[in-house]
């Protein structure tokens, strides 16, 4: 049984949750999120509480139970306060700049790298600190991970993208005799 799925989810003031067919729509002060869910889990939406229960007692439904509960909690938190991820770009000559809906990066390649920013996300870049803000936790995380994958931090000098607060394990270079 899912410990996360058993918990009741409280709906804060100013947030509305509606179920329409297979999709769940969460509206709050920062925006609206909707997500399509399978019918293996039953949503019971009250005035200020959401409870989840499984339709069938099989392994797949039990796995979705806790997953769907955490998705709903993330949606409710996102429409209240947006999610923020910060990346730090380290390295001589590495630059980042936001132009319109594109993130332009100079990462030491022979060409500049241009990444399109999704419409629901806000990106700011100042002095090689990139801040990604959005109400959808999944989209913010995947966009930030995609940027980081362009130039992962290397262990000798630490050049590349790293998350704020991330510690890069350093290796010792060649020893001279």
**DSSP calls for 137-166:** HHHHHHHHHHHHHHSPPPTTT--EEEETT-
- Same domain, yes or no, for 74 and 21? yes
Query: What is the per-residue pLDDT for 4?
Result: 84
Question: How many CA atoms lie less than 13 Å away from 148 in the CB half-sphere?
Answer: 18
- pLDDT at residue 148, rounded to an integer: 94
Q: Is residue 99 part of a domain?
A: yes
Residue 171 lies in a domain: no
pLDDT at 16: 92
- Say what the pLDDT of residue 22 is: 84
Residues 62 and 87 in one domain: no
Domain boundary among 28, 47, 80: 80
| Total number of domains in the chain | 2
Residues ≥6 apart with Cβ < 8 Å to 147: 87, 103, 105, 115, 130, 132, 161
Residues 16 and 46 in one domain: yes
Structure tokens, 1: 């049984």
Tokens of 145: 């991970």
pLDDT of res. 70:
94
Where residue 111 sits, what CATH number does that domain have? 3.90.930.12
pLDDT at 1: 58
Last residue of a domain, one of 26, 57, 80: 80
Are 125 and 59 in the same domain?
no
Q: Walk along the chain (177 residues) and give the pLDDT tens digit of each residue.
A: 568 888 899 999 999 999 988 899 999 999 999 999 988 888 899 889 999 998 888 888 888 898 999 999 999 999 999 999 999 999 898 999 999 999 999 999 999 999 999 999 999 999 889 999 999 999 999 999 999 999 999 999 889 999 999 888 888 888 876
- The residue assigned the tokens 């989209």 is 139
Structural domain containing residue 18: 3-80
Asked if residue 57 is part of any domain, the answer here is yes
87 shares a domain with 76: no
């Amino acid at each position: 049984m899912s410990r996360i799925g058993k918990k009741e989810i409280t709906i804060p003031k100013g947030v509305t949750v509606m179920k329409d067919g297979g999709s769940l729509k969460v509206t709050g002060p920062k925006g609206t999120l909707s997500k399509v869910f399978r019918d293996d889990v039953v949503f019971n939406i009250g005035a200020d509480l959401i409870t989840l229960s499984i339709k069938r007692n099989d392994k797949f439904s039990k796995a979705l139970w806790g997953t769907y509960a955490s998705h709903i909690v993330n949606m409710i938190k996102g429409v209240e306060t947006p999610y923020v991820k910060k990346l730090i770009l380290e390295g001589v000559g590495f630059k980042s700049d936001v132009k319109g809906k594109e993130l332009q990066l100079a990462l030491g390649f022979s060409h500049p790298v241009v990444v399109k920013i999704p419409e629901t996300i806000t990106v700011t870049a100042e002095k090689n600190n990139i801040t990604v803000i959005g109400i959808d936790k999944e989209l913010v995380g995947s966009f930030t991970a995609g940027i980081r994958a362009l130039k992962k931090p290397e262990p000798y000098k630490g050049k590349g993208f790293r998350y704020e607060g991330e510690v890069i394990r350093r290796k010792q270079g060649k020893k001279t005799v």
